[in-house]
Structure 1
Amino acid sequence: MTTIFRTASAALVLSLSALGTTPALAQDGDSTTIHNNDDGSDYAVLGLGGAILTDYEGSDDYSFTPVPIGIGRVSGFNFLLAGNRLSVDLIADNFGPGLDFQAGPVAALNFNRSSTKSIDDERIKALGKRKTALEVGGYLGIGQTGVFTSEFDRLSASVSYRKGVTGAHSAGIFTPTVTYMTPLSTKSVVTIFVAAERAEKGYAQSYFGINPQQSEDSGLPVYNARGGWKNWTLGGAGAVSLTGNLRNGLQAFGGVVYRRMLNDFAESPVTSIAGDRDQWLGSVGLAYSF
């Protein structure tokens, strides 16, 4: 379970983004027309997901873990919890169709290689454990509701920056993301997204660098990892109601993400010899809206 929460975040966040649209969906009589009737009321979606993820960042081995999830709105302010990551939007929603701005804090616990028990590759185990890193920062975003398919499809873009303040590294991670969500009916919704990560040198050295002693212990060559663009990802997610509609009750969700490691993060022996620069992540789960 060492790297699960960090690597699961992308798929789970997009799954939850789909679930988070449910309070505003409404339908006229027997028609299939979806209207945005969001009145700004509070709501919450709580659930548990199961994720298939790499043993560590850059690995070609996979394992399964449960991950808690939650999304909601209180007094117009949104919050999102996906595994290890928590964010809060401090700008109250612009309810209904139109332009919306987001800004607020984000925090994550990075468990990457903080234990060797779930890592199959003996060479990576020999590199030693890393401390759990607390990464804190903020994000900015803008979104347009009512774009192509209905009054509630949504196109949004955001950037976030987190910096390690304790543990394995003290470097920053910059993440731009573009997301598109559209409801298919009052019972189902889908989301697609593209994102990238840029990490500073301290992060690269902590997780992808190999010093002479580590090289001797593991058999992997010495490697001096620099900062830069770490990866890009492309993913999709969806949710479907199991009890009538997405506004309340039980629902199932799932997501799949392709991740491509880049530059020194791909060329490091941690990835190029012991792992794989091409990675697939997935999650499924159940959630309850109220």
Structure 2
Amino acid sequence: MPVSRLSAFVAAAFLSTVATPVIAQQAEENHSTLTIGGGAAMIPSYEGSDDYIVTPVVQVVGKVHDFAFWSRATTLYLDAIPNTDPNGLDFELGPVVNFNRNRVSRIKDDQVRALGKLDTAIELGGFVGIAKTGIITSDYDSLTFNVAYMTDVNKAHGSYVITPRLEYFTPLSVKSFVGLSASADYVGKGYGRYYYDVTPTGSIASGLPAYAGASDDSGFKSATFNLTGGYSLSGDLRRGWAIFALGAYSKLLGDYKRSPIVALAGSSNQWTAAIGIGYTF
């Protein structure tokens, strides 16, 4: 998972976990809501690194006249189907855009840095999904499944990313909540070639062995799991200040984890820890 995607993952934990129970609880009374939050996260310095950096995350999530929107670090989602079902069933469909900055800056490993910095990939596409509130623990817990498809329109990796995601969030009270999620990234050949292969020229510059295995075929690149939680400082998650925390684990898979960038210079095991604060209007 690249730095931008890790940051997005962190921000999703901060705000999507809050937004789901909060918006659900506000649904009967407010058709427009806004949560603004930010914090700091410790993440790998690039996708597959075993060196860690601290990065800020600033996010927004909410709805305007029942049309939901949310950002995940450098990714923005807009649900074009209004959330109006009185039974808590929500169909999701809309555009998504991401600015993928993996290996653009802050590369701590000397060998990987010697391969050269990469260009920002502008990934544009859409997502579709379904969500339901009132599943297990209360009228306000939520289960969501969606799939996003994005393709690089900036011709950096020049390929695509497909991300299925399953999320469950439940408020423990009006003051606190917990959330669990699992997701995976399925990528095209160009993605593997751009971020994981080592060319003969790159091998000479970095000392890493040449590698072309990641561009042989498309496939599942990584799987990610996270646990999140939050607590209201104002006594009610539906308004005011709240603090959030996250712990996440991502595992690189297949030919991607066998790349020298990961196997020799980094690690296929990727960890994330974060803390943040947000305000709901």
TM-score tier, shorter chain, comes to over 0.9
Show CA shifts across 1:210-240 (max 9, x none): 1100001101111112231100011111221
Is 1:123 the counterpart of 2:105 in the alignment? no
Q: How many residues align?
A: 276
Corresponding residue number in structure 1 for 2:83:
93
Q: Which amino acid aligns with 2:234?
A: T
Equivalent in the alignment of 1:78: 68
**In the TM superposition, what is the alpha-carbon distance from 1:96 to its structure 2 partner?**
4.5
Amino acid at match of 1:229: F
Letter in 2 for 1:219: G
Specify the alignment match of 2:34 in structure 1.
44
Give the distance between the partners of 1:186 and 1:98, measured in 2 at CA: 18
Aligned partner of 1:14 in structure 2 is 13
Question: Aligned letter for 2:224?
Answer: T
Moved more, 258-267 or 13-22: 13-22
The change in CA–CA distance for 1:18 and 1:95 in structure 2 (over 3 A counts) is farther
Determine the C-alpha separation between the residues in 1 that align with 2:14 and 2:38: 12
Are positions 1:279 and 2:278 aligned together?
no
Counterpart position of 1:160: 148
**TM-score normalised per structure 2:** 0.94
What secondary structure is seen at the aligned counterpart in 1 of 2:28?
coil
Of the candidates 89, 99, 123, which is equivalent to residue 109 of structure 1?
Answer: 99
Corresponding residue number in structure 1 for 2:178: 190
Give the residue type in structure 2 aligned to 1:218.
Answer: S
CA contact (8 A) 2:24 2:133 kept: no
Q: Deviations over 1:93-114 (max 9, x none)?
A: 0354432100101100011111
**Is the CA contact (8 Å cut-off) linking 1:8 and 1:281 kept in structure 2?**
no
Is the CA contact (8 Å cut-off) linking 1:251 and 1:288 kept in structure 2? yes
The unaligned stretches of length 5 or more in structure 2 are none
1:156: how far off? 1.3
Q: Residue in 1 aligned with 2:51?
A: 61
Secondary structure of 1:151's aligned partner? coil
The residue type paired with residue 169 of structure 2 is M
Q: How does 1:228-267 map to 2 (within 5 A)?
A: 228-267=219-258
Any unmatched runs of 5+ in structure 1? 26-35
Report deviation, 1:168: 1.8
- Residues 184-225 of structure 1 show CA distances to partners (whole Å, capped at 9, x for unaligned) of 000111110111101101010100011100001101111112
SS of aligned partner of 1:90: coil
3-state SS, counterpart of residue 15 of structure 1: helix
Shift of 1:22: 1.4
Query: Does the CA-based 8 Å contact 2:10-2:57 persist in structure 1?
Result: no
Post-superposition Cα deviations, 1:143-191, rounded to whole Å, max 9, x if no partner, equal 1211111011111111111100105211000111111111100011111
Q: Distance in 1 between matches of 2:35 and 2:184?
A: 27
Counterpart of 1:73 in 2: which secondary structure? strand
Q: Which runs of 4+ in 1 moved over 6 A?
A: none
> What is the distance in 1 between the residues matched to 2:208 and 2:71?
37
Q: Is the 8 A contact 1:132 1:167 kept in 2?
A: no
**Residues of 1 paired with 2:3 and 2:56: CA distance?**
9
User: Which residue does the alignment assign to 1:31?
Assistant: none
Letter aligned with residue 67 of structure 2: F
Q: CA RMSD in A?
A: 1.4
